[in-house]
Chains A and B, each alone.
Chain A
Amino acid sequence: MILARPGRWIVGRLILALLALSSASACFAVSQIDTFEFSDEVQERRYRALIDEFRCPKCLNTNLAGSDAPIAQDLRKVVYRLVVIEAKADQEVRDYLQVRYGDFVLYDPPFNARTWYIWVVPIGLGLLGVFVILGLQRRVTGQSTVLDSSQQARLRSIVQGTAAADADGTAGAKNPETKS
């Protein structure tokens, strides 16, 4: 939930930016010419917040506020009626639309049998990524740890052999074992 909101905000801005660049179909036109009257500011703010919150069922990724599709206009009227005339609470408005149009109209989908995977998969993939990174790190540090005694001995013999060969001034470095 916490993650979904800023994500949605960014996506929303991106969509607006795209809209500004394109003269898309009526479905996408960001204009709202409804002339509703509100008795007070709180009511109007609630109405605006709610139509921002719902997804237009016709246009796959526009909210009710941003859509000129006929169904979005109708649903804005419904939200207005519920908020202003029938004085319903926000949650009652959400329930009203969800009963009729399904989880689709909610941008914050509930966690249920049909939607669990959209919540679980990103968390699962994130955890998987953390494990992969931890695993890789352990392998890298595992390789660079201290040499055991036989490796130490071999290293010493290589280093000494090279040193001896250099002192001889011969090309014997290729085969230091025989020289030492």
Chain B
Amino acid sequence: MNRASLFVPLGVFVLILTLGYVGFDLGARSELPSALINKPFPEFNARLLGRPEQSITRDDLLGQPTLVNVWATWCPTCLSEHEQLMQIAATTDVQIVGVNYKDRPDKALQWLAQFGNPYRWVLDDRDGLLGIEMGVYGAPETFLLDARGEVVYKRVGDINPRIWRSELAPRLLQLGVSIAGSDADGARQP
């Protein structure tokens, strides 16, 4: 038996350790891949928050890129991302549509009055049915749709400055959204 082969068990052990480490690392990821990526956003017909006589459908979102943001007043993370959404609304021309998910309309309206309203429309999804169509399993979740209504990106969790810089802004630029204060090539925060 040659001397080098004595190290084979050590090699196997290190391999097992590595696989174990990688495996546990994967297990720690709590975000699911969305089943909707590169697929059309689901058809819907939803009433507007505070204006129940008025409703919009998927067709109303088409023709320009759209951010669909799922939020609720019971969700603290939604509040922490709200300022970022306000900033996106102020500095870009992307249309932002809110989905008020499993919430009380009176609370939601009060929340918007208090913290500002970045949304073009807010859909009233108090029973969470639209959420299920979208594969939502918590809030906040944000979908980016292209002008044809296909989902190009989904974020589970808050839109914070880091996500905005590294993931959202570059995709918006790619879709032809103009962002005030950004270079042609970069995606600096405005």
Contacts and interface: CB of A to CB of B under 8 A. Distances in A.
A101 B35 contact: yes
A104 B138 CA distance: 15
Instruction: Label chain A's interface by main secondary structure.
Output: helix
Contacts of B27: 60
A104 B132 contact: no
A104 B133 contact: no
B135 A100 contact: yes
A102 B132 contact: no
Q: Find the residue from B30, B36, B132, B133 having the highest chain A CB count within 10 A.
A: B132
B109 interface: no
B33 A102 contact: yes
Contacts of B132: 74-75, 78, 100
Contacts of A74: 128, 131-132
A71 B138 CA distance: 7
Q: Interface range on chain B: under 10, 10 to 19, 20 to 34, or 35 or more?
A: 10 to 19
Contacts of A103: 35
A102 B30 contact: no
A57 B30 contact: no
B128 A100 contact: no
A110 interface: no
Nearest to A100: B135
Given A58-B137, A58-B138, A98 B35 contact: yes
B138 A102 contact: no
B102 A70 contact: yes
Contacts of B136: 71
Interface of B: 27, 30, 32-36, 42, 102, 128, 131-138
16 contacts: A60-B27, A70-B102, A70-B128, A71-B136, A71-B138, A74-B131, A75-B132, A99-B35, A100-B42, A100-B134, A100-B135, A101-B35, A101-B137, A102-B32, A102-B135, A104-B33
